[in-house]
Amino acid sequence: MGQENRVSLPSFYGVKAGMTRIFDQDGKHIPVTVIKLISNFISQVKTVEKDGYSAYQLAYGEKREKLVTKPVKGHLASAGIEKNLTRFAELKLSDADGENLGKELGYEQFPSDTHVDVSGVTKGKGFQGVMKRHGFSGGPATHGSGFHRTGGSVGQHTSPGRVFKGKKMPGHMGCKNNTIQNLKVAEINEDKGYILIRGSVPGAKNGVVLISKSVKK
């Protein structure tokens, strides 16, 4: 797609492909996360006059045609998008322009050394105890102790007579939205379809992540 049919926005969606390492000029290795670049299109433009706020709706996640429902096909067709995209998300911007409807996102705002915030769903760990979930040290491992990996007492006296909300206890761990701020872009290669980000990012392999320009830089 030509440059005239692309628009550069401060956020886009990609797919986490895994981790590797690169080497700098001094021979030091740098751990990086490989993000696969996928097609992001503007499938709808929200305006203050019509919707009460200004935003772009982004479409991504291409699948086979038979897996796309007719309502979604019609929605994409109304925006002039030919690809079979199945996932949608909104990006609030105060200057959303209706002229950008149907355009593909470019990556001009993400050259090397750009600071980015990366959001994703963390790996699900299931039901875990307090040592793994909260880093408790646990009890003695020997000498007949019956206190090894439990959380200890959570009780109160007659007053207040309840367990306070937020008490660190066993429970479901992971599988929640998380954002790591101020990571650095190590390299971006549109021809080969990847971007390298220094350090680790939330989520499992093949998970979708949102990459945005840092708000605190």
Compute the distance between CA of residue 30 and CA of residue 13 in angstroms, rounded to an integer: 23
Q: How many other C-beta atoms are found inside a 10 Å radius of the C-beta of residue 28? A: 9
pLDDT given at position 105: 96
Compute the distance between CA of residue 30 and CA of residue 19 in angstroms, rounded to an integer: 11
Compute the distance between CA of residue 198 and CA of residue 29 in angstroms, rounded to an integer: 11
Report helix, strand or coil for 125. Answer: coil
- Cis upstream peptide for 160 (omega within 30°): yes
Q: What is the pLDDT along the chain (217 residues), one digit of tens a residue?
A: 556 789 999 999 999 999 999 998 899 999 999 999 999 999 999 999 999 999 999 999 999 999 999 999 999 999 999 999 999 999 999 988 999 999 999 999 999 999 999 999 999 999 999 999 999 999 999 989 999 999 998 888 898 889 999 999 999 999 999 999 999 999 999 999 999 999 999 999 999 999 999 999 7
Domain ranges of the chain: 3-125+172-213
pLDDT given at position 30: 95
* CATH class of the domain defined by 3-125+172-213: mainly beta
Beta bridge partners of 126: 173
pLDDT given at position 1: 53
